[in-house]
């Protein structure tokens, strides 16, 4: 897939599941559980041992059906290895201009993490495709709206504290997608991958309902008074 196709697919998916585990095998089980629940974009965090092997395996198994990215990409060395392993996008908790430039060089979607307006603009000016608002649970959905007011041209993906209950609020206030970690994959810590699948399916269904409601409201607004 070309970069623009990957970027569009992420927007259509609306969510990126965060896979973070204590071993490569656990990460694979966690990822497969998310995919079984309907997740179509996920990141494998580089805090996971054997993350490169996990990315390679998932790309081989799900090429053309699920987007596989790398997370916690802190430097260009890690980014280059992830690209060679098949990662289709890069996510980080911070802004590293060199990583963003490397991603642009190889036409890979980059989503660096930022919190303040200065960091968000810095990421955008360096060429980031989407800016990950992190840690979003420290500021809440209204903060996304506050950022969007002066920066409506920058695509934002809040990550941290996204739940089924507040999912709609993040989109209401301007998120183009969300990153979801423990509220989806938490049961994997106890080996309960069936519950991870159930959580993933619930998030996918909830997002579909949110979009349907939004489309209906837009349609009604477009009709105007009769």
Indicate which residue of 26, 32, 125, 132 is catalytic: 132
Examine the residue annotation and report whether 172 is marked as an active-site residue of this protein: no
How many other β-carbons are positioned within 10 Å of the β-carbon of residue 98?
11
Indicate which residue of 3, 36, 43, 189 is catalytic: 43
- Strands, sheet with 156-158, edge to edge from the N-terminal-most edge strand: 113-114, 131-133, 156-158
Give the burial string for 130-169 (b: 16+ CB within 10 Å, else e).
Answer: bbbbbebeebbbebbbebbeebeebbbbbbbbbbeebbbb
Examine the residue annotation and report whether 43 is marked as an active-site residue of this protein: yes
Enumerate the active-site residues.
43, 132
């Amino acid at each position: 897939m070309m970069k623009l196709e990957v970027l569009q697919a992420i927007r259509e998916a609306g969510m990126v599941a965060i896979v973070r585990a204590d071993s490569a095998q656990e990460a694979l089980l966690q990822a497969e559980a998310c995919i079984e629940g309907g997740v179509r974009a996920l990141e494998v965090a580089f805090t996971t041992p054997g993350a490169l092997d996990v990315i390679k395996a998932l790309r081989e198994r799900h090429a053309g059906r699920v987007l596989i990215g790398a997370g916690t990409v802190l430097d260009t060395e890690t980014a280059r290895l992830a690209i060679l392993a098949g990662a289709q996008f890069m996510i980080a908790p911070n802004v590293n201009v060199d990583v963003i430039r490397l991603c642009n060089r190889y036409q890979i979607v980059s989503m660096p993490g930022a919190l303040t307006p200065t960091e968000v603009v810095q990421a955008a000016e360096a060429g980031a495709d989407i800016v990950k608002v992190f840690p979003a649970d420290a500021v809440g959905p209204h903060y996304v709206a506050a950022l969007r007011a002066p920066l409506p041209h920058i695509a934002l993906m809040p990550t941290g504290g996204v739940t089924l209950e507040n999912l709609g609020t993040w989109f209401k206030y301007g998120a183009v997608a969300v990153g979801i970690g423990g509220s989806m994959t938490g049961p994997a810590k106890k080996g309960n991958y069936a519950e991870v699948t159930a959580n993933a399916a619930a998030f996918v269904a909830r997002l579909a309902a949110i979009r349907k409601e939004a489309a209906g409201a837009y349609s009604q607004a477009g009709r105007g008074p009769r």
